[in-house]
Structure 1
Amino acid sequence: MGRSATPEGDPAHTMELLWGGGTAPISRPRNGKPGLTLDRIVEAAVSVADAEGLDAVSMRRLAAELGVGAMSLYTHVPGKTELVEVMLDRTLSTLEPGDDTDTGWRDRLTAAAHDYFQLLCAHPWMLGVVALSRPVLGPGGMAKYERELRAVEGLGLPDLDMDSVVTLLDSFVAGAARAAVDAAALAARGEADSEWWQSVAPHFEKVFDPERFPLAARVGATAGEHHNAAFSPAHAFEFGLARLLDGVGALIVGSGTGGD
């Protein structure tokens, strides 16, 4: 499931925010503007985080974005810690529920991994607050966890192994997304891998001895030619996911059922 690394905040209030809705306005509309709701606050917070990162999200900034006084936000959410929990869960809730019809476990896990990878790349701020040790305990986080568990239900795996497969998948996807986001950030600053290599290669070739490092020379050249760079986040994700699923397949075979 999605995991949170945010401070604890107020657990009781956080659960109310995660599960209690948030569409009904508490404050009255002013000057024809819609009333303030938790949904509007979360939508504004996610928009700011997507554009500028989570550090840019503050009650003062959100109040300015929404055209309200900062203190009015506290009627809906006690602080940033609780707000981030809701942001995470609402963003996870945008994931597709998954289609289990006429698909095997491998296709189901592949689809779940791709959806989560794309979500993290679209909302890089999530990478700074997701953690394996603290699950996001809202409906969005639970729906994601349920979907991933359904992918391996009925295969003969013990419950602990089912959870471990999901945890392994989430951990891999988060790492792959972080690498992709970092590469995209470098490219956005005009530091694309291909340009970096073009500037470094002439100097590296002067000092590198291929006879001393024959495998590095041969394999590195092949990979560099294939990726047109030293590293391809997309290839790393697809290759790693395939190998991870191979391992899950071996686990299923070892359970004695062989999978579906």
Structure 2
Amino acid sequence: MEPPYRQIVSDVRRRIEAGELRPGDRIPSARAITREWGVAIATATKAHAALREEGLTVARPGVGTVVAGPSAARDRELTLARIVAAAIALADRDGLADLSMRRLAGDLGVATMSLYRHVPSRDELLLAMIDAAIGSVTLPPRPPKGWRVALELVARREWALFKKHPWLGPSMSLTRPQLAPNAMRLSEFVLAAFDGTGLTFAERMYVQVLLFSFVRGLASALEPEVEAQRESGLTVDQWMETQQQALTRIIRSDGFPHFSALAEEEFDLDLDRLFEFGLARLLDGIGSLPASGDVKPAR
């Protein structure tokens, strides 16, 4: 449920979009809001601030807070697809934390209020972004022969997608999955990959969730690394160089013989190699499922 101040903002936005409040009309004052909605003055003040932040209202000296407008012509040229594409580009460039309706409106060169005619909230915008991003993944109409080949195909394309959009993996919920049709399309592909194996649909779904969890879990390292590089100006290799002396000192101390041996092999953590290593081990495990599912390794 929305907090009280957001309910007030939603109601004022509805009045504006319905034409009950027109550009230049005064909106209820903070004291009027406390009377009409039965909230504290602090809540009313927060609602006023949110209305200004979203570009719905402006302060006019000697008049008060009024509805912003009129909308520029380019506002009327907006489409949901254009908004979503711009939001994805912003999140790719600056991270999901920097995505706000106001910032997005600035990138599009439109009034913030105009965005809400196409997408009612940031949460619904994020859902549209997830669905659009996953929609770029291409799959054949039917899974290829052999469940292992099909799962490798899905996993590698998911991994490439998460690398392209580092914000995507962390934004997707495992326990409360967003109802994104294109994400369901990927799941349907995995479920169909086991046709003829004898695996139950519940077992197939557990395999799908396990596969997605593996790829998404690895992808969770992508956005923090992009953010760290943006803030520090150092790549991961450059950062590791700054830690080399301290790491060597710790390894050479007593009690780390295996780390010493590892250092001599010049081990280098590479996420792509880790993905391939982990995917192979995961599929090997799925191939060893009990005979009740009759799933055998498809090599």
TM (norm. structure 1) is 0.76
Q: How many residues align?
A: 229
Residue by residue over 1:190-219, the C-alpha shift from the partner in whole angstroms, topping out at 9 and shown as x without a partner, is 434443444433444345347633222223
Residue 121 of structure 1: aligned partner: 163
Higher normalized contact order (CA 8 Å, seq sep 6+, divided by chain length): 1
Q: Please tell me whether the aligned partners of residues 170 and 220 of structure 2 are also in contact (alpha carbons under 8 angstroms).
A: no
- 2:119 is paired with a residue of what secondary structure? coil
The residue number in structure 2 matching 1:245 is 283
Scaled by the length of structure 2, the TM-score of the pair is 0.67
Q: Match of 1:21?
A: none
Match status 1:111 vs 2:153: yes
Partner of 1:36: 78
- Structure 1 window deviating more from structure 2 (38-47 vs 196-205): it is 196-205
| Mapped partners of 1:126, 1:220: distance in 2 | 34
Unmatched 5+ stretches in structure 2: 7-70
TM superposition shift of 1:162: 0.5
Is residue 2:195 matched to residue 1:195?
no
Per the TM alignment, residue 167 of structure 1 is displaced from its structure 2 partner at its CA by: 0.5
Q: Unmatched 5+ residue regions in structure 1?
A: 1-6, 10-28
Residue 97 (str. 1) matches residue 139 (str. 2): yes
Letter in 2 for 1:238: E
5 Å matches for 1:108-257? 108-183=150-225, 186=228, 189-209=232-252, 212-222=255-265, 225-227=266-268, 231-251=269-289, 255-257=293-295
**Correspondent of 2:109 among 52, 67, 84:** 67
The structure whose Rg is larger is 2
The corresponding residue for 2:93 is 51
Work out the CA distance in 2 between the residues paired with 1:71 and 1:183.
34
Residue 46 to residue 101, structure 1, CA distance change in 2 (3 Å): closer
- Work out whether residues 187 and 193 of structure 1, in 8 Å CA contact, stay in contact via their aligned partners in 2: yes
Between the aligned partners of 2:82 and 2:90, the Cα distance in structure 1 is 12
- Structure 1, residues 41-66: CA drift from partner, whole Å, max 9, x if none? 11111111111112222222222233
Q: Which residue identity lines up with residue 215 of structure 1 in the other structure?
A: H
